[in-house]
Amino acid sequence: MVKKIQDLISEMDTCVLATARQGRPYCSLMAYASHRDGKEIYMVTGRDSTKFSNIMENPYVSLMIDTREKHGKGGRHETLALTVEGRCRPVKDNKERSMAIEELVKKNSHLRHLVESADSEVICVSISSCLLLEGLDRSYFEKIETQ
């Protein structure tokens, strides 16, 4: 099952990022790229954004990655939906940041301007667990081992 989850993460390029601050949820549509092992997901945001402020206060986040766009309304029974839980952090290491930016721009060329902005932060979600839903009646939970 881990392979199916990794394939879904690497195939798609958009997710919904859920953060929380003072017990209040906040969702953001985000472009992303994943690390080759599929255990880390990179995004870019402005330092002054609500989502970044929320992450700095509470680093625990959830992501929703799905294939509904791929299947359309008529193929909803084929849609895969992946809920990811993890911890988010700003990427400070220059080597990791360069790798993340390269992957983000390769997968989402429209992000080039944002990643080059002095006000942007590359963030990384280290995945702790995933719940994959296939249709209405099949679900698979995976706890992801961290190093």
Which position has the higher pLDDT, 86 or 109?
Answer: 86
Distance (Å, whole) CA 101 – CA 24: 30
Does 36 have pLDDT greater than 80? no
Beta partners for residue 25, in sequence order: 20
End-to-end CA separation in angstroms for the chain? 20
pTM, to two decimals: 0.90
What would the pLDDT profile of 42-88 be if each residue is shown by its tens digit? 999 999 999 999 999 999 999 999 987 765 666 666 788 999 999 99
